[in-house]
Amino acid sequence: MSLISVNNLTKQFQRPIRQEGFTGAVKDLFHRQYEYKTAVNDISFQINQGEIVGYLGPNGAGKSTTIKMMVGILVPTAGSVTVNELIPYKNRKIHAKNIGVVFGQRTQLWWDIPVTESLLLMKYMYKIPNDQYRKNIELFSDILDLHEFKNTAVRQLSLGQRMRADLCAALLHDPKILFLDEPTIGLDVVVKEKIREFIKEINKVRQTTVVLTTHDMDDVEKLCSRVIVIDHGQIMYDGNISHLKDKYGSDEIITIEPEHNHDLISLRDKLLSLNVMDTKIKDLKLQITYNKGDINSMQILSKIMSESSIIDFTIQPCEIDEVIRRMYTENSLKGKLKI
């Protein structure tokens, strides 16, 4: 049985239409008109225990609205969502004990007291047994390096420190599911990597299910086995990353450094006979973009090596953000994708 089940879920928001001028304002007092915006439009998916799922889409696509319905903050307009066999908005107190939530731009910690005091307050809120609390504090402090700032007031923390403390707070009560909304936004590379390693460790050791929304495609590639892509409130894709890349990211870039620089232009011209997409010379190296379905790297290397000696070469696959950008482009041209 699925841990999270979303069936034909829809959410509409009602917004008042304000008429112009004094006369319009008077009319609004007696006869208010409204317009309706559909943020989430008849979506369905299932998430099993232990999965790390990336929930992706551009701004305004409906990601946060879906997360808020799964958390229990918003009530669906139509359809249903159940999390751990509970309807979130109807069972908020019980549901809150089974989930952890981290929103990148907000904190659940108390602003003016030290991190340790905030965590202790959460111990009492969730009625966490002493042994469980002590064990989790020790584990999370080691993995997230909380020791360096645990006695500092939350308002004095850097963004990276606060995010690590928020992750600790969200997982103190051993939730089955962790909802992460932009958990690495604005963080430096070192802190991002630390948080990613922590999420992978918790998922591996405790089988914690993770639902992640992010614009950082490194998060997706390093954490997620599955992605759900949403645009204009509708699901465009639901599946594994490798299939997504095969369909929309079948091109690669091979960068070649020949032994003699004067060979660059000659080599570029000779590649015109092959079915490559683009060639350019950059930093005394030859960059060749090609579609893996039309030609492979060995064919290109064989052609190059028949003409010149090679010092080094690298192959760069298509980035996931480029893959999703192409999906958006195709979606805008053809309507909803059927995959």
Banded pLDDT at 268 (limits 50, 70, 90) = confident
Residue 339 has a pLDDT of 42
Banded pLDDT at 337 (limits 50, 70, 90) = very low
User: Between these two residues, 319 and 181, which has the higher pLDDT value?
Assistant: 181
Residue 85 has a pLDDT of 93
CA angle, corner 15, sides to 14 and 19, nearest 5? 145
Q: Does residue 258 come out as left (phi exceeding 0), alpha (psi in the -120 to 50 range) or beta?
A: beta
In this structure, of 55-69, 117-131, 261-275, the range with the lowest mean pLDDT score is: 261-275
Determine the residue type at 135.
K
Q: Which two tokens stand for residue 116?
A: 């340790």
User: What average pLDDT score do residues 287-304 get?
Assistant: 84
Strands laid side by side in the 285-291 sheet? 278-282, 285-291, 251-258, 310-317
Q: Which two tokens stand for residue 75?
A: 């009530």
Rounded to the nearest integer, the mean pLDDT of the chain is: 86
Q: Are 263 and 308 in contact (CB under 8 A)?
A: yes
Residue with tokens 């064989």: 302
Task: Identify the structural domains of the chain with CATH numbers, from first to last.
Answer: 2-10+46-245 (3.40.50.300), 250-317 (3.30.70.980)
Q: Would you give the end-to-end CA distance of the chain in angstroms?
A: 24
293 pLDDT more than 80: no
Banded pLDDT at 211 (limits 50, 70, 90) = very high
Angstrom distance (rounded) from CA 304 to CA 31 = 75
Q: What is the 3-state secondary structure (H, E, C) of 42-69?
A: EEEEEECCCCEEEEECCCCCCHHHHHHH
Share of the chain above pLDDT 70, in %: 93
Banded pLDDT at 338 (limits 50, 70, 90) = very low
Tens digit of each residue's pLDDT (9 = 90 or more) over 8-49: 999 999 877 777 776 767 676 777 777 788 999 999 999 999
**Beta-carbon-side half-sphere exposure of residue 40 (alpha carbons within 13 Å):** 27
Residue 200 has a pLDDT of 92
304 pLDDT more than 50: yes
Residue 183 has a pLDDT of 83
Q: Are 299 and 271 in contact (CB under 8 A)?
A: no
Q: Which residues, including other chains, have CB under 8 Å from residue 236's CB and lie 6 or more apart?
A: 229, 230, 327, 331, 336, 337, 339
Residue 277 has a pLDDT of 81
Angstrom distance (rounded) from CA 70 to CA 54 = 15
How many C-beta atoms surround the C-beta of residue 181 within 10 A?
Answer: 21
CA 304 distance to own-chain centroid = 39
How many C-beta atoms surround the C-beta of residue 266 within 10 A?
Answer: 12
Tens digit of each residue's pLDDT (9 = 90 or more) over 59-98: 888 888 999 999 999 999 999 999 999 999 999 989 999 9
Determine the residue type at 17.
I
Tell me the CA distances in angstroms from 239 to 49, 72, 121, 319, 330, one per residue in order: 16, 25, 40, 17, 18
Residue 175 has a pLDDT of 94
pTM exceeding the 0.75 threshold for the entire prediction? yes
The DSSP-derived string for 225-274 is SEEEEEETTEEEEEEEHHHHHHHH--EEEEEEEESSTTHHHHHHHHGGGS
Angstrom distance (rounded) from CA 98 to CA 171 = 10
Long-range contacts of 25-31 (CB under 8 A, 24+ apart): none
Q: Are 45 and 235 in contact (CB under 8 A)?
A: yes
Q: Which residues, including other chains, have CB under 8 Å from residue 222's CB and lie 6 or more apart?
A: 196, 200
Strands laid side by side in the 234-240 sheet? 99-103, 177-181, 209-213, 52-56, 226-231, 234-240
Residue 1 has a pLDDT of 63
Residue 88 has a pLDDT of 95
